[in-house]
A = this chain, B = another copy of it.
């Protein structure tokens, strides 16, 4: 079993390397995000979580921080419905289950499910990413 928790020193380094100051807000959010492995959070959810812990962070800052962390390579943004974005703490190549009833997002164990073949990309185009979402109902 791989431990997917990201060491905190690594988070700090990565923030430094993109010139993001480790402010109280960013540290609080980073703790919530990276102390447990494989999280999939929405901005709203993370905001509530922070509030529940007593960390005062405005919703606007949560949005800004999630995007800054994404640009720094600490998070991956995934879009599932038009409703809202999810942010995934696992930045490795992998796919997702989406539970339509609860809105929950989970990683698909990559060995069980793969995309094969060459997508024959048009001249001058590059594959930036392949997103796979398995929509589950009951």
A: which residues have CB within 8 A of B? 79-85, 97, 99-100, 108-109, 111-122, 124-138
Cβ-closest chain B residue relative to A121: B136
- In-complex Cβ contact of A117 among B80, B114, B122, B130 (8 A): B114
Nearest neighbor of A130 in chain B, beta-carbon distance? B134
In the complex, chain B residues whose CB is within 8 Å of the CB of A127 = 134-136
* Chain B residues whose CB sits within 8 angstroms of the CB of A134 once the complex forms: 119, 121, 127, 129-130
Question: Which 10 pairs of residues, A with B, have the shortest CB-CB distance?
Answer: A113-B117, A128-B135, A128-B137, A125-B136, A131-B133, A129-B135, A113-B119, A119-B134, A112-B117, A132-B132
Smallest Cβ-Cβ distance to A117: which chain B residue = B113
